[in-house]
Amino acid sequence: MKHVSILGYGTVGSGVAEVLSVNRGRIREGSGVDVEVSHILDLRDFPGDINEDKIVHDINDVLNDPDTDIVVETMGGTGAAYEFTKAALEKGICVCTSNKALVAAKGPELMKIAEDHGVRYLFEASVGGGIPILRVLKTCLTADEINGITGILNGTTNYILTAMEKEGREFNDVLKEAQDKGFAERDPSADVDGFDAARKIAILASLVTGKNVDWQKVYTEGISEIQPVDFKYAKVLKRRIKLLGAFRKTPKGAYVAVSPFMIPCGDPLSMVDGVFNAISVDGNMLGESMYYGQGAGMLPTASAVSADVVDLAVKGGDGDRYEWSGDDSDVVDFSSTRRRFFVRVSEEKKQDALKVFRGTEEVGAALTGEYAFITTEMSEKSFDEAASAIGGVIGRIRLDI
Amino acid sequence: MKHVSILGYGTVGSGVAEVLSVNRGRIREGSGVDVEVSHILDLRDFPGDINEDKIVHDINDVLNDPDTDIVVETMGGTGAAYEFTKAALEKGICVCTSNKALVAAKGPELMKIAEDHGVRYLFEASVGGGIPILRVLKTCLTADEINGITGILNGTTNYILTAMEKEGREFNDVLKEAQDKGFAERDPSADVDGFDAARKIAILASLVTGKNVDWQKVYTEGISEIQPVDFKYAKVLKRRIKLLGAFRKTPKGAYVAVSPFMIPCGDPLSMVDGVFNAISVDGNMLGESMYYGQGAGMLPTASAVSADVVDLAVKGGDGDRYEWSGDDSDVVDFSSTRRRFFVRVSEEKKQDALKVFRGTEEVGAALTGEYAFITTEMSEKSFDEAASAIGGVIGRIRLDI
């Protein structure tokens, strides 16, 4: 029997309690280990809740219980979550989490503490929700050199883009609906401005390169500037607009970016709609493989956390470690990267645009009063300079990752 | 240093030699173990080949070399491959393979021999080529009850169906082209008649249920009856035609079938084209997740075999085991399963069809001289009886899995 304590009885924490309870028999059968939730730490009481009697308010009730084998941290944030995780690991207790903010901020330090104390710190659910992407990278694609990863890493923004495209609606309108439905947070910035995806691609890039890719060095652009008409142009171009997190291994270090891209309809990522996530991995022998599933939601995320619980219950500190060093990875200067851009300028700027952006390709106008085109391949820096020179750029979306 | 011997220097075997050679540094870095190919067993000589000096013709050169740690069986078939695998396992040598025919025929026996001798028998590449589906099921989705699996499990047939659809060509014409290009075997039956997919879904169903699902009990229908016009009807129905292997856990045992199905365009599997494979897994907590990649091809398959090599090199007999008992799983009687069918009958049979198949829904005719419709949900048995009663059924494709 392995005893699990859950820190934080919110959406994911209560989902983990549910998964471990409903699937207890299946887990015992599959893994040979019986797993039981013994404590749930939360500031609140939950009168009438099925787990009411397991609620504790003091972290020491968890840490000082000699029976605690595994701590599940589903509090979120980098404050108390960090302190409690560190304390648990230092006590020789394995920890798993869905907290991408903490992993992105303190991953190497916490993994090192875990290793020093003979335990493990796992965080499968921190990236891709129910998609087991960390295990795939760590234990499945072991014979490949991973050269790149491209993913739809945030369900909220993919839901918003899908609704804008299919229903022709404005960003703010769809965002409000998503908030009302509970798909988006009241403060939507982490999602819509791309910071959530930036943390996730930084975690993936760190795992693959073995060095810490600082999420704050990821070039990050969100979706709030995307307009309904952009999807009409995309349709003409047989492309779709997706917020992607991208990593490429380059001789100069890690290329990491989060941005909306217009990708060809033939790209498997272009077909991922709504709250689903998908992560495409480029291996030097395997070629492209893609992993698709629910990127968020209580039970999918809780399922991923629970898979970590099972791993820790069976193997304790002896199983596979996710690890990367605390040394910062070199990150490519985004302004030097080269690509084509889809650009909209006001009609009166057309001649200027033709002069400054040579060799452009016009895109059949969906709106009067503007001129839309695709640039030749150019650096970000050159694009910004050209756009400033002519002025009147209404919008631009990157084509090439 | 771990020594690997490869049995069979054909497409996959030579791919494994290439992967282990090209990625030797990367494997050492990622796993901490250095892996080297020491012998390659083949009947032929390979003068001038980079591995010429490793070729041996006698299995005893492999089995009696005390340095042999891992045997890679890429011979295919169930004859010598079976004898050599058994002999290696009995000598305490770990074995991995891409040989789905052998796994489907003798899996439980070979896994038992491996266990009795403290070694492991791994076969990641036997299903889904480069898609790490067995590891995903065994080591990633451990907190879920897996209720169903649906997959495009054969690249050759998916290539043929995709070409028929996009180019409006006949089955035989595309098959011949695929053979000329090397995508299809000279004897294409295992692929186009569905037997390859039947073996694969049987392996997946066995792994999930823990009991042996005999691949010969899988209802199996291939794609040779599909006609170009079927894709026109499918388009009207906003569906696509895919050869699927399907497994569902039911109270009466395992439902397992391989057949062409017309699936809705919104289904992620409908978007998988060409030689790619994809496998969708239904977990009771996770919901749907899907795994996509190259289902065949030298390097993707070799990458999957090599991931097994890495696992065996690091963990020997101590790592995770794929296992199911030799007891036969109950298999649902296919004729009792219920679904809707897309049906084409000759024009003169229209009134008979309307009488016998009540409540049908007409499908806008793409061809003159025939009447096409969708039945209500009915059992396979009832459908067959009704079809016999009216006669003149030109074709039928299942809608619901």
Q: What is the pLDDT of residues A71-116, one digit of tens each?
A: 999 999 999 999 999 999 999 999 999 999 999 999 999 999 999 9
Residue A250: pLDDT band by 50, 70, 90 thresholds?
very high
B200 part of the active site = yes
Measure CB to CB from residue A23 to each of B268, B272, B285 and give the nearest one.
B285
Beta bridge partners of B241: B262
Secondary structure in 3-state letters for chain A? CEEEEEECCCHHHHHHHHHHHHCHHHHHHHHCCCEEEEEEECCCCCCCCCCHHHEECCHHHHHCCCCEEEEEECCCCCCHHHHHHHHHHHCCCEEEECCHHHHHHHHHHHHHHHHHCCCCEECHHHCCCCCCHHHHHHHHCCCCCEEEEEEECCHHHHHHHHHHHHHCCCHHHHHHHHHHHCCCCCCCHHHHCCHHHHHHHHHHHHHHHCEECCHHHCEECCCCCCCHHHHHHHHHCCEEEEEEEEEEEECCEEEEEEEEEEEECCCHHHHCCCCEEEEEEEECCCEEEEEEEECCCHHHHHHHHHHHHHHHHHHHHHCCCCCCEEEECCECCHHHCEECEEEEEEHHHHHHHHHHCCCCEECCCCCCCEEEEECCCEEHHHHHHHHHHHCCEEEEEECCC
Q: Which of A26, A131, A141 sits opposite B289 (nearest CB)?
A: A131
DSSP track, B303-331: HHHHHHHHHHHHHGGGS------SSBPPB
Q: Is the Cβ of A135 closer than 8 Å to some Cβ of chain B?
A: yes
| Mean pLDDT, range A120-141, rounded to an integer | 96
* Chain A nearest-CA residue for B323: A30
Surface of A (175-214) touching B: CB under 8 A: 210
Measured in angstroms, the CA of A129 and the nearest CA of chain B are apart by: 9
A136/B132 CB distance under 8 A: yes
**Testing the interface with A: which of B139, B207, B271, B325 to mutate, by most A Cβ within 10 A?**
B139
Given pLDDT bands bounded at 50, 70 and 90, which one contains residue A368?
confident
Angle, alpha carbons A266-A132-A245 (nearest 5°): 50
Examine domains A133-293 and A335-398 and report if their fold is the same: no
Which residue of chain B is at minimal alpha-carbon distance from A306? Answer: B143
A42 touches chain B (CB under 8 A): no
The DSSP string of B53-91 is GGEES-HHHHHT-TTEEEEEE---SSSHHHHHHHHHHHT
Q: Where on the phi/psi map is residue B77: left (φ > 0), alpha (ψ -120 to 50), or beta?
A: left
**Residue among B200, B232, B242, B349 flagged as catalytic:** B200
User: What homologous superfamily does CATH list for A335-398?
Assistant: ACT-like. Chain A, domain 2 (3.30.70.1150)
Among 3.40.50.720, 3.40.50.300, 2.120.10.30, 3.40.50.10090, what is the CATH number of B2-129+298-318? 3.40.50.720
B113-129 burial code (b ≥16 CB/10 A, e <16): bbeebebbbbbbbbbbb
A274 lies within 8 A of chain B by CB? no
Distance from CA of A107 to the nearest CA of B (A): 19
Residues B224 and B227: their CA atoms lie apart, in Å, by: 8
The whole-angstrom distance between A346's CA and the closest CA on chain B is 37
Secondary structure letter of residue B158 according to DSSP: H
Whether the CB-CB separation of A27 and A20 falls below 8 Å is answered with yes
User: Does A294 reach chain B within 8 Å, measured CB to CB?
Assistant: yes
Res B308: pLDDT: 98
Angle in degrees, CA A30, B125, B288, rounded to 5: 55
Q: Closest-CA residue in chain B for A210?
A: B30
| pLDDT at residue A366 in the model | 64
Return the pLDDT at B184: 86
Q: Give B70's strand partners.
A: B4, B94
- CB of A277 within 8 Å of a chain B CB? The answer is no
Nearest CB to A135 within list B26, B140, B311: B140
Pairwise CB contact (< 8 Å): A288 & B309: no
3-state DSSP assignment of residue B134: helix
Q: How many CB pairs under 8 A join A and B?
A: 159
Question: CA-nearest residue of chain B to A134?
Answer: B140
Q: B131: which chain A residues are within 8 Å (Cβ-Cβ)?
A: 289
Whether the Cβ atoms of residue A64 and residue A93 lie closer than 8 Å to each other: no
* pLDDT computed for residue B364 by the predictor: 83
Instruction: Tell how far CA B356 is from the center of its chain.
Output: 37
| Residue from B12, B20, B286, B301 whose CB has the most chain A CBs within 10 Å, to mutate | B286
Q: Does B30 reach chain A within 8 Å, measured CB to CB? A: yes
B108 touches chain A (CB under 8 A): no
Mean pLDDT of A330-355: 96
Chain B partners within 8 Å of A287 (Cβ):
130, 293-294, 297, 299-300
A22 and B285 in contact by Cβ < 8 A? yes
B24 has a chain A CB within 8 A of its CB: no
> A143, B299: Cβ pair inside 8 Å?
no
Annotated domain spans of chain A = 2-129+298-328, 133-293, 335-398
What average pLDDT score do residues A261-277 get? 95
d(CA A253, CA A240): 29
310-349 of B, contacting A, C-beta below 8 A: 310-311
A210 to chain B, closest Cα gap in Å = 9
* Sequence-separated (6 or more) residues with CB below 8 Å from residue B142: A27, A30, A31, A306, A307, A310, A311
For chain A, say whether B302 makes contact (Cβ under 8 Å).
yes
Average pLDDT over residues A336-357: 95
Distance of CA A118 to the CA centre of its chain: 28
State the average pLDDT over residues A169-186: 92
Q: What is the mean pLDDT of chain A?
A: 96
How close A16 gets to chain B, by Cα (Å)? 10
Mutate one of B127, B131, B142 to test the A interface: name it (highest A CB count within 10 A): B142
Active site residues of A: 200
Q: What is the pLDDT of residue A208?
A: 97
- B8 and chain A in contact, CB less than 8 A: no
Distance from CA of B114 to the nearest CA of A (A): 19
Task: Identify the segments of chain B with pLDDT beneath 70.
Answer: 365-366
CATH topology of domain A133-293: Dihydrodipicolinate Reductase; domain 2 (3.30.360)
| CATH among 3.40.50.1240, 3.40.50.720, 3.40.50.620, 3.30.360.10 for B133-294 | 3.30.360.10
User: Looking at CA atoms only, how far is residue A88 from chain B in angstroms?
Assistant: 23
Distance from CA of B153 to the nearest CA of A (A): 14
pLDDT grade for A359, boundaries at 50, 70 and 90: confident
pLDDT number for residue B366: 63
> How many CA atoms lie less than 13 Å away from A341 in the CB half-sphere?
23
Could you tell me which CATH number the domain at A2-129+298-328 has? 3.40.50.720
Predicted model pTM:
0.96
Residue A184 confidence class, pLDDT cut points 50, 70, 90: confident
Which residue in B268, B287, B309 is closest to A130 by CB distance?
B287
Q: Give the mean pLDDT of A332-347.
A: 97
